[in-house]
């Protein structure tokens, strides 16, 4: 279905140019879902394209608002880009949205309270409870969300969780997993984790999907339509390839991403194990939880 984004957003044209079946929504209608994306990833345009690619292939009409923090200035995005295409949180604090996506950020090794924009982010978490029908917390945001809401801590991994990992589904009967079969393959790229025992001990949380290798994947806050997702289902095909080759070029310690390249050979193409499922997952979220 069609999607409306800020006028002239380059990421939309990039998604169209790559061959994705994207229709542009000119004027929102009564059935249009208002979705906000709080994008705190460093490479703004890449993340914009990742989520446009998923949202625009759903069965729902979408009006996408790109949100930025008032207390943080991105280092890797031009002021012109942020000013032209992004809306500050202060501008929407009196608005309501059908859905909110809060992205991850490469700041896992920093204590939450030491993150410069932590107070504002906590304010957004609380604002979303009253003003958003359903919120997705992605990767670092998932860890930050369960810490702020339930006091659950993250833990440093001995090495980076990096690759495509298979996951089981604990509750296949819920609408989020409609049409999805095990295993769910998901990209992970992180240095910290949540401990399973902490999640299952919290009576306000329900563990919906996990992996023997990469740990907890999807959690839901009971009594709400809010989900905490530790992986990156939205990633494009070559995202992990770019991360791996970047770190190799810098001489950083990095292992080959697991289950990613054909025959586990970085000279070969990546194997696309996750994007079809990601489209179903996000489509189900929009269809069943954002209304």
User: Annotated catalytic sites, by residue?
Assistant: 139, 232, 234
Question: CA–CA separation, 201 vs 219, rounded Å?
Answer: 13
Question: CA–CA separation, 221 vs 149, rounded Å?
Answer: 10
Question: CA–CA separation, 256 vs 162, rounded Å?
Answer: 8
Instruction: Using CB atoms within 10 Å of the CB of residue 266, give its burial: 0 to 12 exposed, 13 to 18 middle, 19+ buried.
Output: middle
Question: CA–CA separation, 200 vs 123, rounded Å?
Answer: 26
């Amino acid at each position: 279905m069609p999607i409306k984004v800020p006028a002239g957003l380059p990421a939309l044209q990039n998604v169209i140019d790559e061959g994705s079946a994207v229709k542009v929504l000119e004027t929102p209608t009564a059935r249009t879902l208002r979705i906000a994306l709080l994008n705190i990833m460093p490479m703004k345009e890449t993340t914009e394209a990742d989520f446009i690619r998923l949202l625009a292939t759903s069965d729902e009409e979408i009006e996408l608002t790109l949100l930025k923090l008032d207390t943080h200035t991105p280092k890797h995005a031009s002021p012109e880009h942020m000013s032209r295409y992004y809306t500050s949180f202060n501008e929407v604090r009196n608005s309501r949205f059908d859905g909110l996506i809060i992205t991850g950020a490469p700041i896992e090794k920093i204590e939450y309270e030491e993150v410069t924009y932590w107070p504002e982010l906590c304010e957004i978490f609380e604002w979303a409870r009253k003003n958003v029908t359903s919120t997705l917390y992605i990767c670092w945001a998932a860890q930050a969300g369960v810490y702020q809401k339930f006091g659950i801590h993250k833990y440093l991994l001995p090495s980076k969780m990096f690759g495509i990992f298979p996951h089981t589904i604990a509750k296949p009967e819920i609408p989020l997993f409609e049409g999805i079969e095990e295993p769910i393959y998901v990209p992970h790229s992180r240095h910290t984790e949540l401990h399973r025992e902490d999640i299952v001990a919290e009576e306000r949380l329900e563990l919906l999907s996990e992996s023997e290798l990469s740990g907890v994947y999807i959690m839901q806050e009971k009594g709400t339509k809010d989900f905490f997702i530790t992986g990156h289902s939205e990633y494009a095909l070559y995202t992990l390839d770019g991360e791996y080759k970047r770190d190799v070029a810098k001489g950083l310690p990095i292992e080959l991403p697991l289950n990613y390249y054909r025959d586990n050979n970085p000279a070969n193409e990546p194997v696309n194990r996750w994007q079809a499922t990601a489209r179903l997952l996000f489509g189900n979220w929009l269809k069943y939880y954002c209304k």
